[in-house]
A and B are shown apart, each in its own frame.
Chain A
Amino acid sequence: MEISALVEPDRVHRTVYTDQQIFDAEMEKIWERIWVYCGHESQVPNRGDYYAVTIGRQPMIMVREGDGTVRVLYNRCPHRGVQLVGNLKGNTGNSFVCSYHAWSFHLDGSVRAIPLAKGYEGTRLTRDNPDCSMKRAARTDSYRGFVFASLVDDGPSLAEFLGDAKIAFDDMCDRSPLGEVEVVPICHRVVQHSNWKFFMENQLDALHPSVTHQSTGISAGRVEKRLKAERGAAPLYYHYLSTFASSFEQWDAVQTINFPHGHGILKAYMGLRPRDPDTLEYEALLKEAYGEEKMEEYLSRSIHHVLVYPYLSVQSPLQQLRCLRPIAPDKTLSEIWHFRLKGAPEAIYRRSLWYYNLVNSPATMINADDLENWSKGQWGLASNGGDWVSFHRYYGDDREDNGVTYSNHGTSEAVMRNQFKAWASYMQGA
């Protein structure tokens, strides 16, 4: 597989979205090597709490140990390979016990008891053999409560991997007067019948909203306008939907920032700092916690969402996160989470909840049309109607500064060009 023949600076070959061998190579060279998001520490608050999570093609368990450590282990009994937890989440008490032959393991994965242990005497599989224990993810680390694991020993640290994209988690947590978030214990899971790249490209594609989401934007705008005329004001959540129908020129003015490793930011456009009493109460709490200067810094960051390439979209100002788990070249699962700002008023949570319910729920009035595009995109790319996918818009107009690519145009396909630069680098093993 010659990656350089598939990825050119301004276009990519369609097979990078459709080919099973390329998908398998992505799992091996990207997902099963880099730092992959497992979950938030608050998903497993108590000793023995676990959450099953997939890294690439590997079934893993994120578990809370007695000393408070969160560890990531392979969901596999070393004896005969049976998975040790059979549910998506739960509490396993003090140990994992295999349902097949009752091998048991401490929460750190080390073997605890083997039934009829004397049957192993003289064999090469005695208790002191590390092969008697559950295999651990090679590396586990967390940043501000967000847990990541890497399945290989080498490679960049989590901090190096995230780079400037760590702002996703800073921006979310800094908006809490306590500097912390906790998960809302509900996860929407939605399958898209398309390659994972469609999602990642779409997140920073500022040209598509006014086309794809025109129907919702116009419909919401009509009601919003009527409410403003009748009542003088409309709740902010109408605006969440109506802004999708902004003009091409307005979208072109929204900037993207494109980091190394394919990460990126779409800058804010919704104006999320109204002057209502709830917001003022909230700002007073932040000011008390951090001082006025810091509060201003935290609340005036211009972020719509941050991408951690190749699998995460973090909408930090509204405390939502979407994580991709690729299943096949044409099938991708997204896990959709919402977080509460610890110590912030209920009204602030409820304001962001509207976005979670309207845009990110399984009855979304937005993603319904995205998913439709991506399915049709996948079918189109599987055809012989053409070999190349174009990323030419504003090509040659990018400005690079210290490895960070900017464009004067929000609709520039610099986003995709930057993502494929990272993709090619991973796939070439660089």
Chain B
Amino acid sequence: MANTKDSAPTRAIPSAGPDFEHLLAQEVIIEAGEDTASTGAQRVAPDHSPRARSGTVDSAADALPKPGSVVAADVQREVEQFLYAQAELLDGKHWQAFIDLFTEDGVYWMPVTREQTEWEGSPSIFAEDRLMMEIRKGRVSHPNAWSQAPMWETNHLVSHVAIESATADTIEVRSRFHMMELRRDALRHFGGSYRHTLVRDAGGALKIRLQRVDLFNGQAVFDYVLQVWV
């Protein structure tokens, strides 16, 4: 019962009394719904189907991932070391050495969605051949690149290195990355997957013909922008 010792008039809370006890004594059990009975939202709007898609699209992006091939251990190690070295070039801001990892016709591509398949002709976050990479390098290296003035650093982790196919001259490999970026005092995270098409140059060294970068948050709001490759 409510405490009513205050002198101000208060409305008495009615005692639940026997009625309350009576209600508690009643037992109502909702039986599991029969399959045919429509319930909840289906009952008021049986044709409401907001998640239905207009035609089933079985895109490459929806396909089940295949496990990496078991290739010769030295090839696996060579590819892994290559990817780690690339990440270290970015963290060390060695822009020209990063560009030199690419073949003369090499491309760095960050599409917006996983469904995109062509680097040319589709809206992209990055779509850069070596000439465009040279422009980007020139920009961030210029003394009046104002947005380069604040201190900034990145730290890349690369993992899940799965070789999808390997022939004498071409290796397809996918991996995962996580990049933390500190700019002024703000920390940002970017994560996703890389897909490298690697070829061998005349000397047998690996080069990148195409690096595809799928940000898992590529369609999220960007708080500020990306100034260099991820």
Contacts and interface: CB of A to CB of B under 8 A. Distances in A.
Interface residues on A, range: 35 or more
Interface stretch (A165-173, A211-219, A262-270): A211-219
Contacts of B139: 215-216, 219, 365
Contact of A214 (B48, B131, B135, B142): B142
A191 B113 contact: no
B184 to A, nearest CB: 9
B222 A95 contact: no
Contacts of A193: 224
Nearest to B150: A372
A363 B226 contact: yes
A interface majority secondary structure: mixed
Interface string B132-143: 101111111010
Nearest to B120: A350
Contacts of B220: 189
Interface stretch (B9-17, B37-45, B62-70, B77-85): B37-45
B123 interface: yes
Given A90-B50, A353-B123, A372-B147, A365 B222 contact: no
B224 A115 contact: no
A193 B188 CA distance: 15
B223 interface: yes
A333 interface: yes
Interface residues of B, number: 49
A367 B44 contact: no
Nearest to B121: A350
A365 B150 CA distance: 16
A227 B131 contact: yes
Contacts of B112: 186, 188
A189 B113 CA distance: 14
Contacts of A219: 134-139, 142
A115 B142 contact: no
B6 interface: no
Interface string A330-370: 00010000100000001001100100111001111101110
A361 B125 contact: yes
Interface string B24-60: 0000000000000000110111011111101000000
B137 to A, nearest CB: 8
Nearest to B39: A102
A212 B146 CA distance: 7
Given A104-B41, A104-B44, A363-B225, 9 more contacts: A95-B45, A188-B222, A223-B138, A338-B123, A353-B121, A361-B126, A365-B139, A367-B225, A368-B227
Interface of B: 40-41, 43-45, 47-52, 54, 110, 112-113, 120-127, 131-132, 134-140, 142, 144-150, 219-227
10 contacts: A48-B50, A91-B54, A112-B45, A184-B123, A192-B224, A218-B138, A219-B134, A346-B121, A357-B127, A369-B145
Interface of A: 46, 48, 90-95, 97, 99, 102-104, 112-115, 184, 186, 188-193, 212, 214-216, 218-220, 222-223, 227, 238, 241, 333, 338, 346, 349-350, 353, 356-358, 361-365, 367-369, 371-373
